[in-house]
Structure 1
Amino acid sequence: MTTAAVENTQLNTKINAESILEFQATLLSHGHFDEATTALATELALKLNLERVSIGISEHGQMQVKAISHSAEVESKHEVNRRIAAAMDEAAEQSALIVYPEMAGSQPRLMLAHVALVRGSGNQVSTIPLVNNGAIFGAITHERNASKLYQPDEIDAFKHIAALLGPVLYLKWNGERPWYARVKQDFSAWFNRHFSMTDVGFKLAMYALTAGLLALLFIPVQYNISAPARLEGSIQRALVAPENGYLQHAYVRPGDKVKAHQVLAELADEDLLLEIRRWQSELAQHENTYSAALAQSDRVQMVVNESKAEEAKTQLALAEAKLSRARIVAPFDGVIIKGDLKQLLGAPVQRGDTLLTIAPADSFRLMIEVDERDISEVKLNQAGKLALVSLPGETLAFKVLRITPAAVSKEERNFFEVEGAIKTADLATLRPGLEGIAKIKAGQHALIWSLTHRLIDWASITFWKWGL
């Protein structure tokens, strides 16, 4: 083995065993990236007997020289630094180690920038890309006097150093970058990893897919306004207490279907029966007295008793009417939607108190609570679909009949009540009080408008409130 080969083997062993930790310690012992890379470049030049070591980082697609051995400051506009950066770009673009002059048996490479770098100096130069997670982020350029040519073991040592120090250099550099620059680079790396492929067919397919998605955003689609909705009877009749009294009987509860003239509840009638008997007795007494006066031709008594008899008849008719109204009857066929009187038996009621509410069982109206932000899109006779909570698998068609002109405030939101008419012949499964979600067809709009108009409207109001 020659003396040079022995020296190179000893150098490689020394680099592998001892110096890597020292190089890493040099990087980590300095607070700033520029200081750390300058110290590292100087130490590499001393340890490896090199004329000059330069470290560069890729920024905006081009290499920027960040550190040169034995130099405290780096001027990017200096001609030598430009040539070093060009040599680093040349190696990074080919993703390969470049050595000039070429070594025997090496793969041919483009090395015009390396030739320009050493022109006139007679030096040797080599550039190794720095890699982190498979992506090139920088490069290290070594320069040496041509009197001692690079040996394969030395090149292997350079590769070993770059492979071990690359991730540490990346962490040091990336940690000092602004957050938005890191996010941009991570996104670019992700995009290049997934979409920057050499397969032309795949690229064309991705471009076509992207164009298709963009076109979909501007193609007019059906825009629907969603809002809470509830079913109500087309007529809701309140059945009230006709007189003061006590609830005696209750025959129905909410949800029960009833027929016209069916008795639903009764008030206590004992007092009314007593009153009827009293007026019947008085009427008979006045009629007898009238008959006696008529027999005696007493005109005065005849007139008096006739008047009292008429008054008794009127009071008797009134008492009988009250007795008939003590029975609460259904005015039409329907279903009870409010009033559980079985819990109030024996309780006093006042004249005018609502006892029951009845609605038709086969005639409904749909009440939709449209948010104030969407009411401008709602028009009369617009069609829509209703999905009830009790029938989630079915939808009912309806059309808009009326838009209430005044807003309603409820549960910290403002909405307008929109009345709709349900278009279906099967009403057997429907009940007043059912709730669901209604969707009103509000015309054609671009998909991107449908997705963003709420946000744009909110931003406009917010900026106006701020005076912008």
Structure 2
Amino acid sequence: MTQTATATSPPAATAAAPALRLTRGQAQPGPDECFARLRSFRGPTEAFLAELLGLQAALAGAVAGWVFAAGSAEPLAATGAVDAASTARAAALAAGEASPPGPFRLQPLAGPEGPVTVLRLPVPVAAGADAVTRERLALTATLYGLHEQRLAAERAGAGLAVAAIAAVAGEEASFEAGALALAAALVDRLGPGAQAAAVGWPGRGGRVRVAAIAPLTDADAGTSAHQALAAALAEASRSPLPHTDPAAALAAEALGTPAAAAVAARPGEPAAGPVLLLGFDPARLDPGLAAARLAAVAAAARGPLALLARADRPLAGRLPEALARVAVRGGVGRRVVAAALAVALGAVALVPVPATVRAGFTAEADGARTVAAAAEGQLASVAVMPGDAVRAGVTVLGTLATDELRLERATLLAERSTHRREADDTRGHDPTASRLAELEVERLDAAIALADHRIAAARLVSPISGVVTSPDLHPRIGTPVTRGETLFEVADPARLTAAVAVPEAVAHRVRVGARGRLRPASHPGVSLPVTVTRLSPRGEATAAGTVFRVEVAFDRVPGWLKEGSRGQARIDAGHAPLLGQWVGPTLDALRLHMP
């Protein structure tokens, strides 16, 4: 089953206006820039045609333009001064009818059955200029052929991409890691524009549980975000009809993306395999292509995930079912054995075994330094981008405007020169006046030194070696800044810690010095050993409920781990009976809500 829906309104019959719009007095991108954009364009064909129409209209100096598909009177794209009458005349020309009156030009984009462009020029052009325009338009038409060839190549390689995405699940050692790797691969590899993904797996009673989300969020069970994802997965699993809106619309809302596709491995059979949700940008990824690829991934990943899910079920979870079958179907001897095994299982359930606390984590910079404005002024320049490497005391991150400070310094120098001459002229005959002038020179020297210090402080130099982690400040050039305002942040990538958001219900089980393991979303098959270094005494309210911040230190920080990376943490929490670990959370929840 495949469903797609977008959160935006559907396009009108005349399609959306192209990205390059003709507006009088508005600077249009140059031909070179437009050609470069179209050569690397990765969106759907309709959006490409809109971009191409904008370029053709700009090159021809047209006041209006349309793109028509073969045999259609409704344009795929339009730009400029478009009205019903001019659109009808352009459609007649595109259909091969007699040329309508007016300066219209027809420009084929492909073969006889391919789309064509119709441009309306403001005035007839000279013969020489007209030849140049035709040559330019013919050159732009070749870009459409390149776009079609690229789409064909992508469709040919889609099977390999699907197989590679599905294969990542089988490479992991546990179902949790396999589902998380599959969700991350869907976002990274399914196609440009993929923004978020979720993996669901059938549970008891026909329900579908949320097995993994990418990028990782704090949507723990019980939160509205988690419930929305579960509802979208359930709708996708039970609806037998393809291309139905409810599941895809629910998925787009739950994932927070403009559009989404929702796919079940076998429509109408909730226990047959994974249910996948993909949120994407429809301007960059064709919805039909996204849904088709997602369906292929769901079918290919069904086997590997099923094996991992079965292998992950503990013996204590499978044994009661086996005992129940023996008690119902077996003879007296088998029933005696089943009873003995049940007693043994009850004894085992009381044996203390290692316990762990699971929660999400975020990698943070340890010892990051900020660079603030030393005085009020304007941001004059920015020399770095996020991620740039910088050196302590050498790299200039940016500068503040110093025009007023330099003017003030020049004024102070002029005053100092005047008082210096006054002190020299009165030294012999008026000692008092000479002394007063010298005192004024000393005051001006201090003021000049202060101005020099403020001018030097306008150069914002990195205090440590590392990488820039603050947002890009180029858009703020020329805007005012206040004294003490943080402008840049620099962190050492080799010094990372992690903050684990432990739910309130299990926070009391975590101790300083406890060992743990982190699985980052970018490398779900890697387990990073850590040690708890600090427990926050104050809880933090989140959408998932109250959590306590637990700081952990890495034994060794891998080079690929970045600040802001997320994943799942498991922290050792001593020993507890199996029975308590199974039913403890349920009993705690019941006690909390009992009158």
Q: 1 CA distance for matches of 2:385 and 2:348?
A: 54
User: Which residue of 434, 442, 446 corresponds with 1:302?
Assistant: 434
1:93-112: CA deviation from partner (whole Å, max 9, x where unpaired): xxxxxxxxxxxxxxxxxxxx
What is aligned with 1:351?
A: 483
Alignment of 1:170-319 (within 5 A): 195-198=328-331, 200=333, 203=335, 206-207=338-339, 210-211=342-343, 213-261=345-393, 262-294=395-427, 296-319=428-451
- 8 A Cα contact 2:516 2:570, kept in partner: yes
Residue 382 (1) aligns with residue 514 (2): yes
Equivalent residue letter for 1:433? G
Task: Provide the C-alpha distance between the structure 2 equivalents of 1:454 and 1:193, rounded to a whole number of angstroms.
Answer: 30
Aligned partners of 2:332, 2:547: CA distance in 1, in Å? 55
User: What amino acid does structure 1 have at the position aligned with 2:504?
Assistant: E
2:571 corresponds to: 440
Whether 1:431 and 2:562 are equivalent positions in the alignment is yes
**Residues 358-391 of structure 1: per-residue CA shift (max 9 Å, x gap):** 2222212221111111121111101101111222
Change over 3 Å in CA distance of 1:448–1:297 after alignment to 2: same
- Provide closer, same or farther for how the CA distance between residues 274 and 192 of structure 1 changes in structure 2, counting only shifts above 3 A: closer
Distance 1:433 1:447 in 2: 35
1:462 matches 2:588: no
Corresponding residue SS for 2:426: helix
Structure 1 counterpart SS, 2:513: coil
* Shift, 1:247, TM fit: 1.0
User: What is the alpha-carbon distance in structure 2 between the residues aligned to residue 298 and residue 359 of structure 1?
Assistant: 61
Q: Which structure 2 residues correspond to residues 29-428 of structure 1 after superposition, within 5 A?
A: 195-198=328-331, 200=333, 203=335, 206-207=338-339, 210-211=342-343, 213-261=345-393, 262-294=395-427, 296-411=428-543, 413-424=545-556, 426-428=557-559
* Alpha-carbon contact 1:333-1:361 (below 8 Å) kept: no
Task: Specify the SS of the correspondent of 1:456.
Answer: helix
User: Residue by residue, what CA displacement relative to the aligned partner does 1:230-260 show, whole Å, maximum 9, x if unpaired?
Assistant: 1111113221111111111111222222110
Shift of 1:335: 2.1
Q: Taking structure 1 as reference, are residues 364 and 193 closer, same or farther at Cα in structure 2, changes over 3 Å only?
A: closer
- Are the structure 2 counterparts of residues 197 and 390 from structure 1 closer, same or farther at C-alpha, using a change threshold of 3 Å? closer
Q: For each residue in 1:188-208, what CA deviation from the matched residue of structure 2 results, as whole angstroms up to 9, or x when unmatched?
A: xx96897433484x5566456
CA distance in 2, matches of 1:460, 1:303: 86
**Contact kept? 2:369, 2:464, Cα under 8 Å:** no
Report the counterpart of residue 86 of structure 1 in structure 2: none
The whole-number CA distance in structure 1 between the counterparts of 2:509 and 2:326 is 45
CA drift of 1:267 comes to 1.0
Residues 124-180 of structure 1: per-residue CA shift (max 9 Å, x gap): xxxxxxxxxxxxxxxxxxxxxxxxxxxxxxxxxxxxxxxxxxxxxxxxxxxxxxxxx
Aligned to 1:338, the other structure's residue is in SS state: coil
- Using the alignment, how far apart are the partners of 1:430 and 1:443 within structure 2? 28
Q: Distance in 1 between matches of 2:477 and 2:348?
A: 65
Alpha-carbon distance in 2 for matches of 1:298, 1:437? 83
The answer (yes or no) to whether the contact 1:232–1:366 under 8 Å persists in 2 is: yes
Change (3 A) 1:427 1:279: farther
User: CA 1:207/1:194 → structure 2, altered by over 3 Å: closer, same or farther?
Assistant: closer
5+ residue gaps, structure 2, are 1-322
Say if 2:391 and 2:462, in contact at 8 Å, map to a contact too.
Answer: yes
SS at match of 1:340: coil
Residues in 2 aligned to 1:193 and 1:389: alpha-carbon distance in whole angstroms: 42
CA distance in 2, matches of 1:453, 1:388: 28
Q: Matched residues, percent identical? A: 27
1:224: Cα distance to partner? 0.7
Structure 1 runs of 4+ with >6 Å offset? 190-194
Q: Does the 8 Å CA contact 2:327/2:338 hold for their aligned counterparts?
A: no
Which of 448, 452, 458 aligns to 2:583? It is: 452
Deviation track 1:389-420 (CA, whole Å, cap 9, x = no partner) reads 22212111111111111111122511111111
Distance in 2 of aligned mates of 1:316 and 1:390: 54
In 2 relative to 1, CA 195–386 (structure 1 residues): closer, same or farther, beyond 3 Å? same
Larger % of strand: which?
1
Tell me, in whole angstroms, the C-alpha distance in 1 between the residues paired with 2:413 and 2:477.
30
Which residue identity lines up with residue 434 of structure 1 in the other structure? S
Contact 1:257/1:361, CA 8 A, preserved across alignment: no
Give the Cα–Cα distance (whole angstroms) in 2 for the partners of residues 453 and 253 of structure 1: 50
- Output the CA distance in 2 between the equivalents of 1:209 and 1:191: 11
Report the alpha carbon displacement of residue 212 of structure 1 after superposing the two structures with TM: 5.2
Between the aligned partners of 1:211 and 1:235, the Cα distance in structure 2 is 55
Q: 1:272 to 1:300 in 2, by over 3 A?
A: same
- Structure 1's 458 and 242: CA in aligned 2 closer, same or farther, altered over 3 A? same
Q: 1:314 to 1:450 in 2, by over 3 A?
A: same
Query: Per-residue displacement from partner, 1:329-361 (whole Å, max 9, x unpaired)?
Result: 111112222232112111111112211122222
Query: 1:35-88 deviations in whole A, cap 9, x for unaligned?
Result: xxxxxxxxxxxxxxxxxxxxxxxxxxxxxxxxxxxxxxxxxxxxxxxxxxxxxx
2:506 aligned partner, one-letter code: D
CA contact (8 A) 2:327 2:335 kept: no
Provide the secondary structure at the position in 2 that maps to 1:264: strand
Structure-2 change in CA distance of 1:374 and 1:304 (3 Å): same
Point out the more displaced range, 372-381 or 273-282.
273-282
Q: Would you say the 8 A contact 1:240–1:352 is kept in 2?
A: yes
TM-score (normalised: structure 1): 0.54
Segments of 5+ residues of structure 1 without an aligned counterpart are: 1-189
The aligned amino acid for 1:290 is A
CA-based RMSD = 2.3
Partner amino acid for 1:272?
Answer: L
One-letter amino acid of the structure 2 residue matched with residue 273 of structure 1: R
Q: Relative to structure 1, is the Cα distance of residues 291 and 427 closer, same or farther in structure 2, using a 3 angstrom cutoff? A: farther
Shift of 1:430: 2.2
Q: Give the SS at the match of 1:393.
A: coil
